[in-house]
Structures are given as C-alpha cells and as structure tokens.
Amino acid sequence: MPAEVREMCGVFGIFGHDKAAMLTKLGLFALQHRGQESAGITSSDGTRLYTHKGMGLVSEVFDGSTEATLIGESAIGHVRYSTTGSSNITNAQPLVVRYARGELAIAHNGNLVNAPTLRRSLEADGSIFQTTMDTEVVAHLIAKEGKLDFVSALQASLQRVRGAYALLFLSLRCLVAVRDPFGIRPLSLGKLGEAWVVASETCAFDAVGAEFVRDVLPGEAIVFGPTGMSAIQLLPRNPARLCSFEYIYFARPDSDLDGINVHSARKRMGRALARDYPVDADLVVGVPDSSISAASGFAEEAGIPYEMGLVKNKYVGRTFIQPEQRLRDASVRLKLNPLRRVVDGKRVVLVDDSIVRGTTMKRIVCLLREAGAREVHVRVSSPPYKYSCYYGIDTSSQSELVAALMSVEDIRRAVNADSLCYLSESALASSIGREPGQLCTACFSGGYPVPVADGEGKYALE
C-alpha cells in the first residue's frame, strides 16, 4: 500500500558519545521510512547547541562534512513528514529555542490534539510563534515555567498537553526523552557502550550497534545528565495503547515495538486472514514492501505459493510521502509494475496492509488484470480504515476514507476485485499479541484513547 497514508516522524537521540552527531545521522538513516521531507540534528558540547537541518532525505541534508560541524557528546535528530504544519524549512526539526534557562532543542513524533487551543491561549497572553508546528506550543509552555527546574517545567507543561508523542529535548547538559501517557507513539531505550540511545524504532539501534534495553513506559521521562540516567514517571501511566498501524504498516519489519517484532506480527496477520477468509487461488502476491510479511504468512497458512507478482521501483521513493495529490498520483504509476510471466492466466490473492482512499488498490488490481491475472482476490491485513487519525498519522479527512463512505461490497466493486476481505479487529489484536483494549485502533473503531475535540487537522495552526 498505501500511496494514501503519509508517515509521521522519527526521532533519535544519543547521550555520552564522542561521535554523537555521526551516530545520530546513522540512526536517522534507519528511520528514514518514517519521514522524508526534512531531516535535522542538534548536538551539544556543554557550552552551546549546534544545529543543521534541511529539506530532503538524510543523505541530502547531511553530506558527510556537515555532521562534523555538530560537535559534542550528545545529540538529537529528527526525520519529518509533516502531520501538522506545512512542509517547509521553518517547520523542520529539531526546533531550537532560547528562553530564560538557555537554549533548548526539541524533536517530536506525534500530534498534540489540543495544540490549537493552547496556542490561541498563549497568543492571547502575548506569545509570538515562529512556526506552525504543534511542537512549538510545548516550547512556549516550558518557557512560561522558567522559574522551575527543567524536569518540573516539563512536567507542568505536559500536564496541559493532550496527544500522542515521543518527545526528545536537548539542553546544554541534559537529554530528556518522554513518551505520551498512553504510549501511542513508540519510543525505545538502548545502550551503546557507556552511551545511552533513544529511538522511535529499534532498527535504529541495530544501525549504530546499540543494544536494546527496554521500551520507554507510557508517561515516563528518561533523563540523561552529568549525574547519569534516571527514569521518572512524569505523567500518569495509563495502560499502553500503542498505535496498531505501526505494526500493520509504518514500522520497519526488523523493529520490535513494545517487545513484539513487526515482521512476525505481520506474518500472523496474514495467517489469520488465510484462516478466516480462505480462497481457491494459484498464487499469493504481496504489495511491496510493507505487505510482503503478511502475504508470506497468508501463503504459508493457505498452502498457496508466494510469488513476486509486483515489482517495485525502489528509486521512486515512498509515494505517499509526497504531500500533494498530483505528485502522489504520478508516483503510484511509476512505482509498481506487475510481472506478467508470473500472473498471466493465474488466480491471484493480492495481500495489502490497508485501503485508505482506495485509489491505489484500484490501480494495482487494474495492473494485475492488464498483466493477465484471471482473478484477483484482495485480502487486507487490517480492518476497514474508517476514522481519521489525530495522533500523528496523516490520512486526510474522514470524507476521503473509502471505508467510511462505502460498504465492503461497494469497495470490492469500486476496486474491481473478485473478492475483498479485511482482517477483523479481534484477529488484528491477537496477531499482534495484545488484547483489543491494549492497542490504539481508533482509525478502525472510532474509539479514541485521547479525546480529540480539538483535532482540527493538519493545518489548524496555520
């Protein structure tokens, strides 16, 4: 899938290593799938912060010499897809601010649902904002608590914020990592020799040679400073509700999220689909890359050969990262090509991880039929995507979500499939290895763990 769901962001931080910026760049490379619009790193040598950020891929923003100017033994980095605020350099992160206690850099993955209300109230009190990012609201809240020590100011500020976040803060001498009270966005802690690392996904630890230590708990802050590392339950700890879409689609298959490997979870989703919705077919094809794991699980369970029926042009990039519809449509056409010799005359099970607007699926079914597929049976390794996400995933408004507008049978007709079945919510949870109430599934069920009355959309702050 999905040319239709755009990512959010990835964060990486390291404390206590003499190659902090260089390792942060490697970590960001591993997290590149989480955002391709901009990348940035801020480092600290204890006397000042050094920042470089720009539009584009990590390899475009950091050319090999740039990171050498980011000196110091601690650093935070960020790759961005804009879920709030438009796509421009002003909104690239880390966001660096100067307040009564000195310089502070912030990197944020997620979305603060009451940011528009907080911003209006801060502006009414005279605050002046430089960006349209919700992250800047947190900076202003912290600055207003300038009389408190940093951790107390952070606590007082985040008590006013509602949303889903993995936040990294870098001051001259400390690095602080915080995960939202429901643990909706992932954040893991690792160790590299004597240095500490934090990252949105554990694949970034592998990239720098770090060892996984544990996941940051919901509402927990991990503080790294001159006296070492300490963990503080900064906010009330709710039962974890990690985003189920991380397992379905966003995260890399080689990452473990809250102790569960993403590839293994996807395989179990495919197996469950094969058990619940069997079909007579000649081969199973997964939409590359994110649906390959689920498709191989389906094939194994059904005893139907898995085949590479679609070839992805790796050089087009992840099409949904393109923020404009016009660009997205063009890149879907360039991105996938069916393998005629494989699918010609065959009954194909096409496994995809989700259908959001439906335009990509229609196009893929059409490609397979043009290549000679006799039947195309679509199996989706997630439930129907009916509700907008307000927690950092940009799927546009509910009026664009095909499952909110049509029945499954109408969608089947619209995408021209011979059959169409979705994974149930209970099968999704058991495939991941959680009870249904232990995940965020709001985009399938409408049950939002954090109220979204203020969820005014991506450009609400502009």
Please identify every residue annotated as catalytic: 9
Q: Tell me how far, at minimum, the Cβ of 242 lies from ligand SF4, in Å.
A: 8
> Pairing between strand 74-80 and 38-44?
antiparallel
Q: Tell me how far, at minimum, the Cβ of 42 lies from ligand SF4, in Å.
A: 26
CB proximity list for 139: less than 8 A, separation 6 or greater: 95, 97, 99, 104, 106
CB 395 within 8 A of CB 380: no
- Which CB, 245 or 422, lies closer to ligand SF4? 245
Q: Does residue 290 interact with ligand SF4 by CB under 6 A? A: no
**Please, which of residues 145-174 interact with ligand SF4 by CB under 6 A?**
164
In angstroms, the CA 240 to CA 238 distance is 6
Among 393, 415, 428, 450, binds ligand SF4 (CB under 6 A): 393
Q: Does residue 184 interact with ligand SF4 by CB under 6 A? A: yes
Q: Does residue 257 interact with ligand SF4 by CB under 6 A? A: no
Q: Does residue 8 interact with ligand SF4 by CB under 6 A? A: no
- Which CB, 244 or 293, lies closer to ligand SF4? 244
Helix, strand, coil % over all residues of the chain, rounded to 5:
35, 25, 40
Q: Tell me how far, at minimum, the Cβ of 17 lies from ligand SF4, in Å.
A: 32
DSSP state of 230: E
CB proximity list for 314: less than 8 A, separation 6 or greater: none
Q: Does residue 391 interact with ligand SF4 by CB under 6 A? A: yes
DSSP state of 246: I
The stretch near ligand SF4 (CB under 6 A) out of 125-133, 150-158, 222-230, 441-449 is 441-449
Q: Tell me how far, at minimum, the Cβ of 321 lies from ligand SF4, in Å.
A: 16
Q: Applying CB under 6 A, what is the total number of residues that bind ligand SF4?
A: 12
Among 29, 150, 245, 320, binds ligand SF4 (CB under 6 A): 245
What number of CA atoms fall less than 13 Å from residue 206's CA on the CB side? 10
Q: Does residue 106 interact with ligand SF4 by CB under 6 A? A: no
Write out the two tokens for 40: 């940035």
Q: Does residue 365 interact with ligand SF4 by CB under 6 A? A: no
In one letter, which amino acid is 120?
R
Q: Does residue 356 interact with ligand SF4 by CB under 6 A? A: no
Q: Does residue 295 interact with ligand SF4 by CB under 6 A? A: no
- Which CB, 344 or 435, lies closer to ligand SF4? 435
Write out the two tokens for 57: 């891929």
Rounded CA Rg of the chain: 22
What is 335-391 written as a DSSP string? HEEE-HHHHTT-EEEEEES--SSSHHHHHHHHHHHHTT-SEEEEEESS----S---S
Q: Does residue 244 interact with ligand SF4 by CB under 6 A? A: yes
The stretch near ligand SF4 (CB under 6 A) out of 193-201, 242-250, 256-264, 267-275 is 242-250
CA distances from 82 to 153, 188, 224, 309, 314 (A): 27, 22, 28, 32, 22
Among 16, 441, 450, 458, binds ligand SF4 (CB under 6 A): 441
- Which CB, 24 or 84, lies closer to ligand SF4? 84
Q: Does residue 247 interact with ligand SF4 by CB under 6 A? A: no
CB 138 within 8 A of CB 106: yes
Q: Tell me how far, at minimum, the Cβ of 446 lies from ligand SF4, in Å.
A: 9
Q: Does residue 440 interact with ligand SF4 by CB under 6 A? A: yes
- Which single residue is written with the structure tokens 């439930």? 383
Q: Does residue 249 interact with ligand SF4 by CB under 6 A? A: no
Containing H/E element for 225? strand 220-225
> 329-339 burial, b for 16+ CB within 10 Å, e for fewer?
eebbeebbebe
In angstroms, the CA 213 to CA 24 distance is 18
Q: Does residue 403 interact with ligand SF4 by CB under 6 A? A: no
CB 83 within 8 A of CB 393: yes
Q: Does residue 389 interact with ligand SF4 by CB under 6 A? A: yes
Binding site for ligand SF4 (CB under 6 A): 164, 184, 243-245, 389, 391, 393, 440-443
